[in-house]
Amino acid sequence: MSTSDDDRILYLSGEPADSLTPQERAELDELRELLEAPATWEEPDAALEDRIVSAIADEARRTRPVESAPVAPATPQAQRRRGFRWPFRRPGLVLGGFATAAAAIVVAIVIAVGGSSSSPLQYAMVVSGTSLAPGAHGSGTLTKMTSGWEIQLSATGLPHLANGRYYQAWLKNAAGILVPVGTFNDAEHVILWSGAPVTQFRSFSVTEQLANGNPVSSGRRVLVGVAHPVH
């Protein structure tokens, strides 16, 4: 290894390297900048893997062709037994006809509920901490159910609140109207509910609140996110 190579390595590792040319220093400064960049060291949330696999699995279910219920094969014409007469001339076809009708009904029901790939309307969001909670982050899904929108939130980096303090989650629409969607003490895994449609109320936030009888938002937002349709 040449002296220059040793000097470059020393320079990178923080030791003086007086024999480097200005160009060599400039090149190494670029490499050091990369080594110092937060992006080089940031790690994604451990739960991201499961979210990705789930998202792909959900899409696979939605895009898979509708599978019709198998049509029962027409039974071969039954041989006439001595002394017995079928009421229909071609019983095999009749049975086959009933099977076909039954299958058609099944298919119709499947289509009516959205097919084998039926999935409820769903949104997803990534949530980030604000300056009040810079280390907080997580994700959530918002799913249309019969009784409203179920919001599943998983976030880390928020301390557990108790003794009269709690978290309140909100949805907001483009007009700035806030709708409360639930209160909780710990954000690691919480289920919230919204009666307001996520299709219109897509901005999500969590505030710190005091149990003092005042239901309005404290304005102390700790977590924010925007819901996007899952497609």
Partner 1 sequence: MVQDRDLRARFRQGDPDAVRSVYRSYGRLVYAVAHKVLGDRGLAEEATQQTFLKAWRAAQTFDEERELGPWLAAIARRVAIDLYRREAVRATDPLESAPPGDQALISSPRSADAIYDVWEVRDAMAQLPQEEQEIVRLQHLEGFTHAQIAERLGMPVGTVKSRSFRAHKRLAAMLGHLRE
Residues that bind partner 1 (CB under 8 A): 5, 8-10, 12-15, 27-28, 30-32, 34-45, 48-49, 51-53, 55-57, 59-60, 126-128, 130-131, 137, 139, 172, 174, 176, 203-205, 224-226
Taking the complex as a whole, the smallest distance from the CB of residue 122 to partner 1 amounts, in Å, to 14
Going 19 to 23 to 26 to 30, the CA torsion angle's sign is: negative
**CB 61 to partner 1: min, Å:** 11
Task: Tell me the closest approach of the beta carbon of residue 40 to partner 1, in angstroms.
Answer: 5
Nearer to partner 1, 54 or 77 (CB): 54
Q: Are 26 and 11 in contact (CB under 8 A)?
A: no
| Residues 151-165: b if buried by 16+ CB within 10 A, e if exposed | bebbbebbeebeeee
Name which of 35 and 191 has its Cβ closer to partner 1: 35
Q: From the CB of 130, what's the least distance to partner 1, in Å? A: 6
The rounded distance, in Å, linking the Cα atoms of 115 and 67 is 8
Q: Which is nearer to partner 1, 92 or 157 (CB)?
A: 157
| Cα angle, residue 30 at apex, residues 29 and 32 outer, rounded to 5° | 60
Instruction: Let me know: does 180 contact 200? Beta carbons within 8 Å.
Output: no
DSSP label of 131 = T
Taking the CA atoms of the chain, what radius of gyration do you get in angstroms? Answer: 31
Q: How far is the CB of 132 from partner 1 (least distance, A)?
A: 8
Contacts of 131 (CB under 8 A, 6+ apart): none
| Cβ closest to partner 1, residue 127 vs residue 153 | 127
CB closer to partner 1 out of 15 and 88: 15
Q: Which is nearer to partner 1, 41 or 84 (by Cβ)?
A: 41
Minimum separation from the CB atom of position 226 to partner 1 (A): 7
Residue 166 CB partners (closer than 8 Å, separation 6+): 183, 184, 185, 208, 209, 211
